[in-house]
Amino acid sequence: MNILVTGGVGYIGSHTAVKLIEAGHTPIVVDSLVNSNVESLARIEQITGTKQLFYKADLRDRDALDAIFSSNRLDAVIHFAGLKAVGESTEKPLYYYQNNLDSTLVLLDVMQAHAVKKLVFSSSATVYGSAPVPYVETYPAGQGITNPYGRTKYFVEEMMSDVAKSDDTLEFTSLRYFNPVGAHPSGLIGENPNGTPNNLMPYITQVAVGKRDKLGIFGDNYDTIDGTGVRDYIHVDDLAEGHLAALIHATPGYHTVNLGSGRGTSVLELVHAFEVAAGVTIPYKILPRRSGDLPAYYADASLAASRLNWRTTRTIEDACRDSWNWQSKNPEGYN
């Protein structure tokens, strides 16, 4: 398949591009580079021996997108492009709504104009808001979302659902990711956050490599195994393979599928697993709870298994080892 990969220069898109190439598909990348570095494309070429076609464009530029669709016979789109920093989205909500919603509207419109019917979208477990755990796809989404970033994911899901209802030949899937961690085992591509990381794993790896003094743990008095927050961490290569599965098993209609392991891991459990994998000690201090954080959530991963024949195969230990391999070989990321 010829697959347009929006946001394909970024963290999850780059790992997915490798899996697509290895499976014999042709990814065609469009990215504005607002949160990524083209070096990842050179690294993908090093891993796969394949140079990808890359267009530097903002998805909101309809003419540019239309030209990409006109010059390539596309079979499907995987839509990773979007802004993703939760804190920033509360400070600049319009920037988030404009970027994440307008870009998807233009994409849906251009797909329709060119009769491209298969779409896989990067959604997030954040759409469950404050649902009971484990999160199941049948639970009504959208209630209790705490930030504009999360609401953009929910609104895009609703847009996709409406569009899919208007044409029963469309095959649309929203993949609801849990917490992506890890890196390609080569250490050539990985997560490359700008500035101070918001997420746990890149913070841990930056402490390990000496860029930060110590990890701050947001709360140790939750009702969890050791008082720290619990999440469902998923290796980015498992996540990448989930996209392949979603394309292969696409059927008409609009579908939502969780991509998670189904297991919860606490902050302290992740820290200790990392210490073992990397052979380093991670100094930490306990801080107050972070506003907007939920105590514990993880996926019901059964729909992905039955519908996509996909399940995670990599462990937390694999993810820690691969994250450390990436960070230690690239202390400054791609810079």
Given the rule CB under 6 A, which residues bind ligand NAD? 7, 9-13, 31-36, 58-60, 80-84, 99, 103, 122, 124, 177, 180
CB of 32 to ligand NAD, least distance (A): 4
CB of 251 to ligand UD1, least distance (A): 26
Residue 237 interface partner, choices ligand UD1, ligand NAD, none, CB cut-off 5-8 Å depending on type: none
CB nearer to ligand UD1: give 67 or 296.
296
Determine whether 149 is an active site residue. yes
Q: How many CB atoms lie within 10 A of CB 53?
A: 15
* Distance separating alpha carbons of residues 55 and 44, to the nearest angstrom: 16
First to last CA, the chain: 32
Q: Is 110 left (phi over 0), alpha (psi -120 to 50) or beta?
A: alpha
Residue 58 interface partner, choices ligand UD1, ligand NAD, none, CB cut-off 5-8 Å depending on type: ligand NAD
CB nearer to ligand UD1: give 162 or 293.
293
CB of 167 to ligand UD1, least distance (A): 30
Instruction: Return the percent helix, strand and coil in the chain, to nearest 5.
Output: 40, 20, 40
CB of 171 to ligand UD1, least distance (A): 25
Contact in structure between 254 and 226 (CB atoms under 8 Å): no
CB nearer to ligand UD1: give 106 or 217.
217
Contact in structure between 45 and 51 (CB atoms under 8 Å): yes
The single residue of 96, 128, 135, 149 carrying the catalytic annotation is: 149
Angle at 19 between CA 17 and CA 20, to 5 degrees: 65
Contact letters for ligand UD1, residues 3-42 (x by CB under 6 A): ----------------------------------------
Contact in structure between 102 and 128 (CB atoms under 8 Å): no
CB of 182 to ligand NAD, least distance (A): 11
* Distance separating alpha carbons of residues 334 and 327, to the nearest angstrom: 10
* Distance separating alpha carbons of residues 167 and 162, to the nearest angstrom: 9
- Give the residue, chosen from 150, 182, 190, 260, that forms a contact with ligand UD1 under the rule CB under 6 A: 150
Q: Which stretch binds ligand UD1 (CB under 6 A): 51-59, 74-82, 136-144, 213-221?
A: 213-221
CB nearer to ligand UD1: give 11 or 254.
11
* Distance separating alpha carbons of residues 181 and 11, to the nearest angstrom: 10
* Distance separating alpha carbons of residues 254 and 85, to the nearest angstrom: 26
Q: Which residues pair with 216 in a beta bridge?
A: 285
CB nearer to ligand NAD: give 68 or 170.
68
Q: Which stretch binds ligand UD1 (CB under 6 A): 44-52, 102-110, 166-174, 286-294?
A: 286-294
CB of 81 to ligand NAD, least distance (A): 4
Non-local CB neighbours of 145 within 8 Å, separated by 6+ positions: 126, 127, 129, 151, 154
Question: Known catalytic residues?
Answer: 149
**Residues in the site for ligand UD1, rule: CB under 6 A?**
86, 124, 126, 146, 150, 179, 198-200, 203, 215-218, 229, 231, 267, 290, 292-293
